[in-house]
A and B are shown apart, each in its own frame.
Chain A
């Protein structure tokens, strides 16, 4: 069904291509081609190539006067990522826009993030992410999902939005790249199937005034990031102990709000979200607890420099402290006395993995970010460094990036990603996969 949907949209774009003179039809073709390489050292071994690929993006936009437009972004990618060769074609977005006066509709595979804050957007719950894509462009983490979006603009200061996403599109978390025990395998995300009454739905009221703007929003549906759950435990005696973990989506309800303003030449943004995951008749320890997350950020320009600073806090409701589980030794399962405890032991371990995944290892947590950037030599050289520090878990990220505009449309980018975290933290999971230098040459057209 999804493929048919995309096909119709692409065909409608192509029809406009052939049917009308491009200069009059409002047809625009754009895109880019880039070569990107990520390198690094894993486990103190020799420097290695982690990802090296070429990607071409072809974007078609066909406008029909004031009635609407069709848009597609198709990406062709070839190379290696995390040591695996690939050659893919991905329809990242393909949608139709329909403008009916004050009412707009967007139907199809689309990326429409929410939230006004910098760094974290707890109100953005409809957009899945590929957390492991290797690209210097943050937007490449976003994944398109199939949605119907309606926006009503009765006044220029008021906008009402309603979204429905009938197909579940999960975020991508490459557990195969995380240092998991050797007896653990991770299954692909389970799909809840297509049912209208199981769609993810969301609504937002946006208000834009001269001094302040903001929104209140509501979401009910699947968290894009599925929870880990234990699969069927093998029955004793265990000759070759293996366990498969499942990625299972769960539903939640979220009430959120955001704002942005400028005070004394400083931009101030904020966002807050109250997340209430849905539990069944019995409490599922694999599903995260209810939480409230808030973000406040400021940005200011000082001469050629721009500084963004932010703070994110989180409170987890009904929090029960838990120590990180001991490393499970498969050798001990030869002892039959351990067998009855095997299920609870594994559940405890997987439950803790979920706490790490959803950043719920502490009742209260606090993080800060600081991102200075400067544009030099008449905006031909951009230098920035993104830093992030989790005050609670003591994880941090250092991410310097330099982009040189060789000519208009031709960019050379280089940088370094350095994640650091202690045992049983998210950054410790990903640091081996991510840490290292990268480069990119990008030609846009």
Chain B
């Protein structure tokens, strides 16, 4: 019993020390970002788009990703439904320190097309998610301020206010600021509230189904996200199923030839 008590005290002290050590909000955000970068994974994604009036649309995709030795994360997304976009494939090369490369293959075009990936504020597939909600993003695009701690989903969380570093970045992302709640236990986000360009609450994003995917390197993955538009009642849910951690995803999945063959 005495031993257990000592362990608990040590753990508590350790947690406090850890929390103190990385109480710098940017460090917290960096650790949160790093923790969610899996070296390789495969998943099927279902996106539910609800218009708040009872109408629902469903989009299904499969996704594979892998981080390569030079730090480049490559992702391939294939659309399974609805039928009018089935066969569409997207290939993304997410480089360290420079803009992404992105190609799209659409069956109607019959060839891959290099596309501009700079529209961070654009809705993703007609949902309430924006493109930037689904990518890791550049830490230096924002400034960070600790705004205390709060309980979210029964988790003690740091509350961090995130503000675009420049007005151009604010325009790119389509927000004036956002507040992110990050768990002190696993450094994964639990909630984000986005403020519109006028500074009013706009969208609320909640995260659940957070799973340890790679115990060896302590990497987590968020399997469910729900975003609500606080202005018009629309909401969208993204649910990852059939997830698997696989650092050896075949390289050929991240080629134009592959998305063109599907």
Binding site for B on A (CB under 8 A): 30, 32, 69, 97, 99, 104, 111-114, 116, 137, 139, 142, 151, 153, 156, 159, 208, 210, 213, 260-262, 265-267, 299-301, 303-304, 378-380, 405, 407-409, 411, 444-445
- Looking at the assembled complex, report how far the CB atom of B223 sits from the nearest CB atom of chain A, in whole angstroms: 24
- What's the least CB distance linking B72 to chain A, in Å? 9
- A-B CB pair tally, cutoff 8 Å: 84
- Asked whether, in the complex, the Cβ of B261 is within 8 Å of the Cβ of A301, the reply is no
B144 at the interface (CB under 8 A from A): no
> What's the Cα separation between A260 and B257 when bound, in Å?
17
When distances are taken between beta carbons in the complex, the residues of chain A under 8 Å from B241 are none
Task: Determine whether the beta carbon of A379 is less than 8 Å from that of B93.
Answer: no
Contact at B118–A408, with CB atoms within 8 Å?
no
Known contacts A262-B117, A378-B123, A408-B58, then 20 further A-B pairs from the complex at CB < 8 Å, ordered by chain A residue: A30-B83, A69-B261, A112-B110, A114-B111, A142-B110, A153-B257, A156-B252, A156-B255, A210-B93, A210-B95, A260-B113, A262-B114, A262-B115, A267-B116, A300-B116, A379-B123, A379-B125, A379-B126, A408-B82, A444-B82
Could you tell me how many residues of chain B have their Cβ less than 8 Å away from some Cβ of chain A? 38
A262–B99 touching, CB < 8 Å: yes
Interface residue? B119 (CB, 8 A): yes
Q: How far is the CB of B29 from chain A (nearest CB, A)?
A: 25
Q: Return chain B residues, CB-CB under 8 Å to A411.
A: 84
Q: What does the 1/0 interface line of B77-100 toward A look like (CB < 8 Å)?
A: 000011110100000010100010
Determine if A408 and B83 form an interchain contact, defined as CB atoms under 8 angstroms apart.
yes
Q: List 13 A-B contacts (CB under 8 A).
A: A69-B261, A97-B261, A114-B111, A116-B113, A139-B108, A151-B257, A153-B257, A156-B251, A260-B114, A262-B99, A262-B101, A409-B83, A411-B84
Cβ proximity bits B36-80 to A, threshold 8 Å, 1 near / 0 not: 000000000000010100000110000000000000000000000
Which residues of the other chain, A, contact B122 by a CB distance below 8 angstroms? 301, 303-304
Which B residues lie at the A interface, using CB under 8 A? 49, 51, 57-58, 81-84, 86, 93, 95, 99, 101, 108-111, 113-119, 121-123, 125-127, 234, 251-252, 254-257, 261
> In the complex the two chains form, is B108's CB within 8 Å of A104's CB?
no
Residue on B with the closest CB to A206? Answer: B256
B114 close to A378 (CB less than 8 A):
no
Closest residue of B by beta carbon distance from A269: B114
Are B251's CB and A408's CB within 8 A? no
- Contact partner of A159 among B99, B116, B121, B257, CB < 8 A? B257
Distance in Å from the Cβ of B185 to the closest Cβ of chain A? 36
B84 contacts which of A112, A159, A213, A444 (Cβ < 8 Å)?
A444
B240 to A: closest C-beta gap in Å: 21
Contact of A261 among B86, B108, B114 (CB under 8 A): B114
Q: B260 CB to closest chain A CB, in angstroms?
A: 10
